[in-house]
Amino acid sequence: MAVSLSQEIKAEPNLTPILDMVFQLITFFMLVINFKTAEMDLSLKLPVVGSARPVETYGRRGLLVLNIDNAGNLKIYGRAITNIDAYIRNEALAAMMSHRLTPDDLAAGEELPTTVVIRADRSTPFRRINRVVRVCQDNGFRNFALKAINKED
């Protein structure tokens, strides 16, 4: 019972486990990717201050990033928002729903636990920034952070 050497033994690898692992890795990275950088309008020239610090949320979960260009236009994900009041109102409703608040809670003095990060161009008139802040306050936002860059040495 000798095995003939003329017969070739073909071994084909099973690729199913490795393809399954690659798919799981792709899924994992899609779930943990940080989309916050897409909210920032990198064309803005932020004001320069002596010591800029990262935004502190004090345990609050939500951040609402608002980009205001030098003409005072609100831009979200690179798209100009024409109706600022409606956009802020919808964001406030989304924040209430995500934190399970009701408008009655806000009327009783409860503030939204979302921090509004305002990234305004350094040449934006203050009245334009103030208008956005007032609209945010009218809709229950009370925590604000103004973004700037560190003064270069």
- Structure confidence by residue, pLDDT tens digits, 68-118: 888 888 888 878 888 989 999 998 888 888 766 655 555 555 677 788 888
Q: Using an 8 Å Cβ cutoff, are 75 and 67 in contact?
A: yes
For the entire predicted model, the pTM comes to: 0.59
Q: Both tokens of residue 31?
A: 């779930």
The pLDDT of residue 129: 86
Average of pLDDT values for 43-67?
A: 64
Does residue 149 surpass a pLDDT of 70?
no
Q: Domains (ranges, CATH) in the chain? A: 36-49+61-150 (3.30.420.270)
Mean pLDDT computed over every residue of the chain: 76
Does residue 46 surpass a pLDDT of 80?
no
Average of pLDDT values for 127-149?
A: 84
The pLDDT of residue 48: 60
Share of the chain above pLDDT 90, in %: 10
The pLDDT of residue 2: 56
Please indicate whether residue 18 or residue 38 has the higher confidence score (pLDDT): 18
State the pLDDT confidence band at 21, using cuts at 50, 70 and 90.
very high
The pLDDT of residue 53: 55
Does residue 138 surpass a pLDDT of 50?
yes
